[in-house]
Chains A and B, each alone.
Chain A
Amino acid sequence: EPEVTQTPSHQVTQMGQEVILRCVPISNHLYFYWYRQILGQKVEFLVSFYNNEISEKSEIFDDQFSVERPDGSNFTLKIRSTKLEDSAMYFCASSYLGNSPLHFGNGTRLTVT
């Protein structure tokens, strides 16, 4: 069964550094998302992306965050200057339609020191 793949599985970075989290959504899916989950807490929506532009973003997704689909397969989340509170598991997801179930990747655990 096709799946969403994320790399790396774990990223450690120093505060103030830039990080790029990478995702390969399911190939025929049209909608892409980033969610995050701070350890032991609930899953929070960050951003949705369709037709090469952001559809919706949450309050968490401030100017430090950006997303890009640089080619036909990858979908990236960039955090420009990481803060300690950015430490979380970041999940990429994709769906075929906007109202289809989301398929989540295995996540990237980001640790900011």
Chain B
Amino acid sequence: DTEVTQTPKHLVMGMTNKKSLKCEQHMGHRAMYWYKQKAKKPPELMFVYSYEKLSINESVPSRFSPECPNSSLLNLHLHALQPEDSALYLCASSQAVRPGSYNEQFFGPGTRLTVL
């Protein structure tokens, strides 16, 4: 299984709502990522989890809260978002960095988020 799955595919939420995005992989990867992608732009890294611990937070506002319940699952909790947060949110996974390894990332299809 070389797939990263994400749910939901589409999400529309108001600025006062609380919602969560989910990501799952069964490739035994120990690094998982959240990216935000605006139209016609490259993915922007938000968070990296390595061995279920948050290893990189790219100065993301606290209205985005990641969670890694186990090595296969990654969540992104959303609260009090702004319209400018509307984007495609991508999850990815890779083998975590260790001597001799390489970290090719496998991407999920994304959740298209619209904040009204």
Q: Do A and B come from one complex?
A: no
Residues of B within 8 A of A (CB): none
